[in-house]
Amino acid sequence: MTTAFERTPPGMRLLRSVYDCAIIGFPRILDDRGNLTFIEQLRHIPFRIARAYWIYDVPGGESRGGHAYRELEECVVALSGSFDVFLDDGTAQKVVHLNRAYNGLYIPKMIWRHMRHFSTNAVALVLASLPYSEADYIRDYQDFKKRNGQ
């Protein structure tokens, strides 16, 4: 199945940029009884979903994230409330405000990210391309910059 997203040819290293991160609008079925949105892997997001998790009950002033992934891709959705996603490729930075359950933020591998400014009762759904692996995390920003060619 083809997608609207480009894939890197095998064996070719592609440096990722914050400009590769993009808002994806998901289908919306509007109904007076309540609206419905859905997400299909490889159709609406450019990867197979291997894991889903959600972040909630974040205390005021706290942030989440503060890392990059070597291989994992993500799509982050504000199911309820709002929050900001700070993106950094080692050179450029970008902030994306999420506050609609019908939009997701696609984040490719090798992008440093953290989330903050969570509103009361915010819920962040994260769809991930790989199962959890501590070895995939880069938790030191200077190490991230070196690995990203900075």
Q: Which residues are catalytic?
A: 67
For 43-74, give one letter per residue: b (16+ CB within 10 A) or e.
Answer: ebbbbeeeeeeebeebeeeeebbeebbeebbb
Contact between 141 and 71 under an 8 Å Cβ cutoff? The reply is no
DSSP state of 135: G
144: helix, strand or coil? helix
Q: How far apart are CA 35 and CA 33, in angstroms?
A: 7
DSSP state of 147: H
Contact between 86 and 93 under an 8 Å Cβ cutoff? The reply is yes
Token couple for 47: 């990867």
